[in-house]
Structure 1
Amino acid sequence: MDENQITIVDENGNEHLCDIITTFESDRFGNKMYVVYSPIGEYDEDGDPIYDAAIVEPDEDDEEGGRLAPIENEEEWEMVQELFNTLMDEEEL
């Protein structure tokens, strides 16, 4: 695994290697760090890559990262989606 990848464990305990698409900080919901990622080799019904996002909660004992927490606030999800969509639009140009 390289530094641009993370391993996500789903609700069934299955591990999924994921490419990190982007990370960013926002103070809009309390100065949080977010990560947008895509499980490698997993696609939706249209054949497009699957994207997901999470909050990165720093681990005080681990300087390299932390743990991921779900985004449970609908307004927070909308903010992450808006930023991601803007990023994707810019890359298509």
Structure 2
Amino acid sequence: MSEEDKEQQITLVDEHGNEELYNVLFTFDSEDYGKSYMFLYPSDAEDDAEVDIQAYSYVPDADGNADEGQLNEIESDDEWKMAEEVLNTFLGDNDED
């Protein structure tokens, strides 16, 4: 994970207007889908707790920044499967460190 990903935070607003701060776990690009993706987890998550990780596709802003771009929900089952495989590989790689 790059230093940039470690420090990135994004505020998500739910359907009720509540804001919650999330940390960016990591981002990646998929050539198969021609999209960029990011995994987020709540910034207040405890290190030893089970964490709810969320995945989104995103469109970066004009400068290429993910934190100011547009997040989109992943809608297709094939995209979800691909994103889960990437996440599982990432988490497996970190367990070996």
Aligning the two structures, in what range does the TM-score lie when normalised by the shorter sequence?
A: 0.7 to 0.9
Report what 2:55 is aligned to. Answer: 53
Question: Which is richer in helix?
Answer: 2
User: Does the C-alpha gap of structure 1 residues 21 and 76 become closer, same or farther in structure 2, counting only changes over 3 Å?
Assistant: same
Paired residues in the alignment total 86
Q: CA deviation at 1:92?
A: 0.6
Report what 1:81 is aligned to. Answer: 84
Q: Give the 5 Å matches for 1:1-93.
A: 3-29=7-33, 31-42=34-45, 47-59=49-61, 62-63=62-63, 64-65=65-66, 66-93=69-96
Q: Percent identity among equivalent residues?
A: 35
- What letter matches 2:26 in structure 1? T
**4+ residue runs of structure 1 moved beyond 4 angstroms?**
none
What do the CA deviations read for 1:18-55 (whole angstroms, capped 9, x no partner)? 010000000212x1000101012258xxx411100101
Using the size of structure 2 for normalisation, the TM-score is 0.78
Query: Unaligned 5+ residue runs, structure 2?
Result: 1-5
Using the size of structure 1 for normalisation, the TM-score is 0.81
Query: Unaligned 5+ residue runs, structure 1?
Result: none
